[in-house]
Structure formats: structure tokens, C-alpha cells
Structure 1
Amino acid sequence: MLSRPGCVVNRLPVLLTRPARGSAEFAEALRGALGEVEIIVNPLIEIVPVAPKELPGPDDALIFTSVSAVEVFATFQAGGGRRAWCVGDRTAAAAASAGFEPRVGNGVAAGLPERIAREQPVPLLLHMHGAHVRVDLAERLTSMGYPCHSVVIYDQPARALTPPLKARLAGGEAMVAPLFSPRSAGLLAAEVKNLGANLRVVALSSAVAQEWPGDAVVAERPDAAAMLDAVRREVG
């Protein structure tokens, strides 16, 4: 999807490749911060709900490492006031809206076990997540003495860049590409391989930047506000 609201001369287009909901939210924030800017939305990952093999009981607590996990879980069961450890502010806000009592992490999934250990966990934790994860939180927490089950509640099939967008990239047009996950970075790298794409990549974290084969600007913090600031500087 292309959006060209009277594009400003010398301002680079922004290519958003995260799932549809996340791209729409970030696009809205970009327009609020930048005004007129071309925003190209081409998700490389689709969110497809999967019936969970296990659902929590009334005394269990949950772990969410994405807004998508919260939104999908809410279609199967209400929060019911249970505790939910969340990777960052955006996920915690979604969990609160879904009826959970959120605990907020520092924006990095790998830091959640230490955050959880600082409180008295409930007898059982359940990490609700997508089919693709980089950190096995359930295994790590269980090894620390906090029983945790890993439950897949959505699939994340890959999607391709559209032919018109590939043609623009192959023509050498410069664009700013914010990347919010290691997987999206790897998928975009595969899509533009051999195109000679001129992309200014802004990565949410060093883990995301490591999956991009070229140079990348890393946001000062792993959150949407820092990504917005970094993209603003790159757009010009």
C-alpha cells in the first residue's frame, strides 16, 4: 500500500514491513511527527491465529512478548485480572486493555526472566507467543526454578514485497526502512538481495541490526518513541 499525500521534496519515503496492525500504528505516529511524507506499507509477516494447546487457569500468570500475542490471546480468553509480564510499554498497554494486571519489562525479551524473578511468581507461568521466537523464555525460567510453559497462539508466515515496490528499489530509489524484529530484518534482506536497494535501515535494537547485512542505525532505546526519533533524522 502506497501513501503519497503531496510528498515533500527531498524527504525520503518510509518503508514499513512489520505486520499490518503495527505498520498502521507506526504510520499514524510518523504522519503526526513528520506531516507530509510518503509511507509505503508492505508487511513481510502475517499474523495468523492458532488455537492454543493450553490455556491458563485462574491462578496462573502469562508472559507476552508482542502486542500480537495479547490481541490473539484475547480472542480465546479474557484477562480476568491475572498478572501478565510484558516485554515493553506498548505490550503492557495492550494487556491492560485486555483485562490483565501488567508488569512491564525493559523492551527486550531476554531481560524478562530477571524481571519476573524480582517478584514472587505464581505457581505456573505461560509464555504466549508466535511460531517464531529467538529466546526460549519457558526453558530459561524453568531452569531458574519458575515453572513456565511455552504456548504458540499464532503463526507468522512470510510475505513478499510487491513487484512495483521491488521495481522502485531496483531503480535505486532511496528509502528509510525501520525494522522492529530480527526476523523482519532477515526477511527484508532476502527480499532485496541482488536488487541494489538503497535503504537507510533503522533497527529497534542491536539484535535486529545483526540480521541486516548492511549498515543500520540503532535506536537509542528499544521502543516506538526512539524509533520515531531515529526515522525522523533519517528521512530528512
Structure 2
Amino acid sequence: MSQPILLLTRPEAQSRRVLADVQDAMGEEIACLISPVLEIEKRDVGVKLDGYAGLILTSVNGVAAAPDLVGRRVHCVGARTGEAARERGADVGVVALDAARLVERILETGAPAPLLHLRGEHARGEIAQTLSSTGIETHEAVVYAQDAVDMTRDAIRLIEGDGPLVLPLYSPRSARLVGKAARPGAKVHVIALSEAVAQEYASVTGRDAEICASPEGHVMIERIAAALRGEIA
């Protein structure tokens, strides 16, 4: 049986990083098609950071769109977000797996306020509202947009075809866009980063997805590599 094809639908730069990580994990090149369903566009909103005791960043896209981070206290969702913030000179404080756990950790550690959440146009978790309701003053600013992009015809053919395909999905919004774009064939193996992603995909397609044991990038890479080897969970 031939190795499944990998279809990546994250924004171009992130998809290429995933591909490199998967190939490193497998020790070989793999058949892959990149067809982003989201395009990241930075918004120049003139956000001013003076007066804030710390920033909240929930994605590498937020890091890329943020103003100067050198020496600034930053709390992050995801190890990769924290790594990207450090590369830009930030003083990384709390790092959590998801928005809910980030809020919990900030409350536990008593992080100084006020805080500013630099986020995308589409965001989940209501971090600023939740923290502010507990007495930790938190504002938010939209510093990038996640514009929907039509899936390519080749990608649609892969999803709807008869061949084995591994389809990782990283966010509820991308899961919905992919699910609405193509009806999955019998041999499509979907891997969802979280239960929320799997639920969104199921709500559109009626199909189940494998859910990562924890919403971490390295876990997703491990599951993608396993699926490509035929080690389906």
C-alpha cells in the first residue's frame, strides 16, 4: 500500500514549517500538497504598549504582528508562540497549552496588570473579558486578520478522492472552511489539534477526527508521522 499524501491547509509559512518537521520526524521526504484556507494579513492599528505591565500573545501570527517586544513581559499560548516571542527579545512569563489554561495560570501567578492581548480578528476564549471580570484589567487589540482563501481544485480532488490522505486541522475556523469546501472520501484521516477543532469539523461533515492527546505542535507532528506510516489511532 502506498504512503498517504499529506494535505496542509495552514497559512503558507506555517504549513511549510509543519512539512519540514514531519519530514524530520520521518527521516524522508513525503508527498504533500499545501493549500491554505487562511491568509494572514497584518493590521497597522498603531497600538501603543506603554502603560501595560504585560502582553498576551496566543499565536505566532500575533508575535509577528506585534510591535517591538524587546524586554517586554509576554504571556503566551503554545510553546512555539513562546519560542517566537523569545526570538524577538521578549521576557516570556506564563506559557500554557490553550486560552483557558493561560487564564488559570495568570490568575495563579498573580501577573501584574494591566495586560494587553494582541490577537487576530477571529479569536476564541475571550481572554481579555475573562481576566477583566476577575479583577485583572486586560485590554485587547486586533493586530492581524485571518482572511479565508478558497481551497485549490487539487486539494478538493484529494479530499474527495479514493486515495489515502492525512489531513491535520489546527483551528475550529480552518476545520469549518475545509469541511465546507469538500466532502471527505472514505480514506481521509483527519487529525484535530483539539476537541473544539474536531467538533467543528464534525458539525460540518458528520465525520469524526482523531484528536491529539494535548493541543501541542509536537504532538500533532507525531500523530501526522504515525498516520503517514499507517499507524492510525
Q: TM-score, normalised by structure 2?
A: 0.90
C-alpha distance in 2 between matches for 1:157 and 1:101? 30
The one-character-per-residue Cα deviations of 1:50-90 (angstroms, maximum 9, x if unpaired) are 123532116531000001100111xxx21131110000210
Name which of structure 1's ranges 155-164 and 169-178 shifts more when overlaid on structure 2. 169-178
**1:31 shift after superposition:** 1.1
Unaligned runs of 5+ in 2: none
The 5 A counterparts of 1:166-177 are 166-177=156-167
Q: Hey, what does 1:4 align to over in structure 2?
A: none
Q: Hey, what does 1:60 align to over in structure 2?
A: 53
C-alpha distance in 2 between matches for 1:106 and 1:137? 13
Task: State whether residues 88 and 104 of structure 1, in contact with CA within 8 Å, keep that contact through their aligned partners in structure 2.
Answer: no
Task: State whether residues 69 and 153 of structure 1, in contact with CA within 8 Å, keep that contact through their aligned partners in structure 2.
Answer: yes
The 5 A counterparts of 1:93-112 are 93-112=83-102
C-alpha distance in 1 between matches for 2:200 and 2:10? 15
Change (3 A) 1:61 1:110: same
**1:197 shift after superposition:** 6.6
Change (3 A) 1:183 1:200: same
Which secondary structure does the structure 1 equivalent of 2:97 belong to?
A: coil
C-alpha distance in 1 between matches for 2:112 and 2:161? 55
The equivalent position to 1:30 in structure 2, one of 10, 22, 27, is 22
The equivalent position to 1:223 in structure 2, one of 204, 216, 222, is 216
**1:135 shift after superposition:** 1.3
Matched, 1:142 2:157: no
Which secondary structure does the structure 2 equivalent of 1:69 belong to?
A: helix
C-alpha distance in 2 between matches for 1:117 and 1:170? 46
Unaligned runs of 5+ in 1: 1-8
Task: State whether residues 47 and 68 of structure 1, in contact with CA within 8 Å, keep that contact through their aligned partners in structure 2.
Answer: yes
The one-character-per-residue Cα deviations of 1:152-171 (angstroms, maximum 9, x if unpaired) are 00011101111122233333
C-alpha distance in 2 between matches for 1:143 and 1:26? 37
Identity of aligned residues (%): 34
The one-character-per-residue Cα deviations of 1:113-144 (angstroms, maximum 9, x if unpaired) are 11111223233100001000111101000001
**1:223 shift after superposition:** 1.0
**1:198 shift after superposition:** 3.9
The equivalent position to 2:170 in structure 1, one of 176, 180, 192, is 180
**1:181 shift after superposition:** 0.9
**1:105 shift after superposition:** 2.7
Which secondary structure does the structure 2 equivalent of 1:210 belong to?
A: helix
Work out the number of aligned pairs and report it.
Answer: 224
